[in-house]
Amino acid sequence: MPRVKEQKRNDGYYEYKCVVGKNFDGSTVYKSFYSKKSKADARKKAEDFMISKSQEIEPEQMTFQAFSEPFLKAAETRVKKTTYRNSYCTYFNKHYLPYFGDCLLSEIKKSDVEAFVIEKQNELALATVKNLMRLLSSFFNDAVDNGYMKSNPCRNIRLKPDKKKFKNVYTPDQVDKVLEYCKQDPFGLNIHIMLSYGMSVSEFLGITIDDVNFEDLTISINKSAVYAKGEMLVGETKNIHRNRVIAISKETADWIKREAKHKYISNNSNDKVLPVFMFRYRYSMFMRRMQAYYFKQNIIIPYLNPHELRHTRASTWVNEGKNLFAIAEMMGWSDLSMLRKVYAHPDIQELRKSLNL
């Protein structure tokens, strides 16, 4: 079969097109190279260009914060709203920008990223650090593709094994005392609901009075409220498993009916979603008032954070021998093995009793 003759363009040049990078939206960037001699000569020009590009001494200057703006803008159009809000915005505002914000991308080295990882592994769970690194690596890849960095400093960084971390939980007796105190505190309804049913803060803040069915004694959890872009945003839950209908007691239903006078059951002052900083302030004041109340009775009740209330509820149900499928449904979990691994902390005396030891 005869060899196909290379075709010249109408202007007499041979053209060779190759990939030279990617846009923010992930689409491929092409560049054409031309020669009057042959297509092979045009290809040689392309190869020389790519070699010179990889050997550039000084990439174009851009700070981490400046590059994050177009990166996030592009990400907002290509990922789920919940992923963008809960991961992208949270990771950049809370972790990346405070650490790398004013740094020039061209000056960020592998050792800088390793120092960042060490700091975060002392604060966060291994799974969260892995997610942080995954998104950070994607960010640096885009910076490389756009000529702001020579290479990705996240490459070949290994995370140290996670040490087993147990969150604090209340004992069954302490749970009873906290719930009893809730009845006399102005912020008590909020704590009662979170501790009794294991809701996260974002889920609880998103519950409206219309989500409560006073006849069936249920609450529909179908949205979450988070702080992003300088304001409280109400949107989808963390994942599809978090959309659920939970059973509540008549006591809880009557309490909500009696005290919830506005749209969101967490906010008794207006129809707006309660800002998370206001929730945390009221939560902190509740905990301090409760501790002072029981301290006068020579009873010590530890200060637990909101997530530890959720952890307490799941652990209590598991240790009481409640049906794991029912617990997973109430908590919005899809994996029973993860439920058992993360939340079950058996009481040693209960184990002795169960095994007749």
User: Do 289 and 182 fall into the same domain?
Assistant: yes
User: Do 312 and 187 fall into the same domain?
Assistant: yes
Q: Encode pLDDT of 203-218 as tens digits.
A: 999 999 999 999 999 9
What separation, in Å, do the N-terminal and C-terminal C-alpha atoms of the chain show? 86
What are the residues whose beta carbons fall under 8 Å from the beta carbon of 192, sequence distance 6 or more? Answer: 179, 182, 183, 252, 255
Residue-range definition of the domain harbouring residue 49:
14-54
Write down how long the chain is.
357
Asked if the structure places residue 167 within a domain, the reply is: no
User: Do 176 and 323 fall into the same domain?
Assistant: yes
Cβ atoms 63, 103 nearer than 8 A: yes
Give the pairing type, strands 212-213 and 224-228: unpaired
* Other Cβ atoms closer than 10 A to 136: 23
**Between these two residues, 9 and 310, which has the higher pLDDT value?**
310
Q: Is the pLDDT of residue 52 over 80?
A: no
Q: Encode pLDDT of 292-346 as tens digits.
A: 999 999 999 999 999 899 989 988 888 888 888 888 888 888 766 666 665 555 5
Asked if the structure places residue 151 within a domain, the reply is: no
Asked if the structure places residue 8 within a domain, the reply is: no
- pLDDT bucket at 57, cuts 50 / 70 / 90: very low
CATH of the domain at 96: 1.10.150
User: Do 191 and 293 fall into the same domain?
Assistant: yes
| pLDDT (mean) for 142-167 | 80
Q: Spell out where 156-293 has E strands.
A: 212-213, 218-221, 224-228, 231-235, 244-247
Tally of domains in the chain: 3
Flag whether the pTM goes above 0.85: no
- pLDDT bucket at 173, cuts 50 / 70 / 90: very high
Residue 282 pLDDT: 95
Asked if the structure places residue 131 within a domain, the reply is: yes
Residue 166 pLDDT: 56
| pLDDT (mean) for 272-294 | 94
Q: Encode pLDDT of 102-117 as tens digits.
A: 899 989 999 899 989 9
Q: Is the pLDDT of residue 261 over 70?
A: yes
What are the residues whose beta carbons fall under 8 Å from the beta carbon of 244, sequence distance 6 or more? Answer: 220, 221, 329, 330, 332
- pLDDT bucket at 124, cuts 50 / 70 / 90: confident
Q: Is the dihedral of CA 228, 233, 235, 239 positive or negative?
A: positive
Q: Is the dihedral of CA 333, 335, 336, 338 positive or negative?
A: negative
User: Do 36 and 114 fall into the same domain?
Assistant: no
- pLDDT bucket at 1, cuts 50 / 70 / 90: very low
User: Do 203 and 339 fall into the same domain?
Assistant: yes
Q: Encode pLDDT of 222-242 as tens digits.
A: 999 888 767 888 888 877 878
User: Do 200 and 236 fall into the same domain?
Assistant: yes
What region does 26 belong to: left with phi over 0, alpha with psi -120 to 50, or beta?
left
The candidate with the shortest Cα–Cα distance to 117, out of 65, 157, 145, 166, is 157
The Cα–Cα gap between 56 and 258 comes to: 69
Residue 254 pLDDT: 96
Residue 278 pLDDT: 93
User: Do 113 and 237 fall into the same domain?
Assistant: no
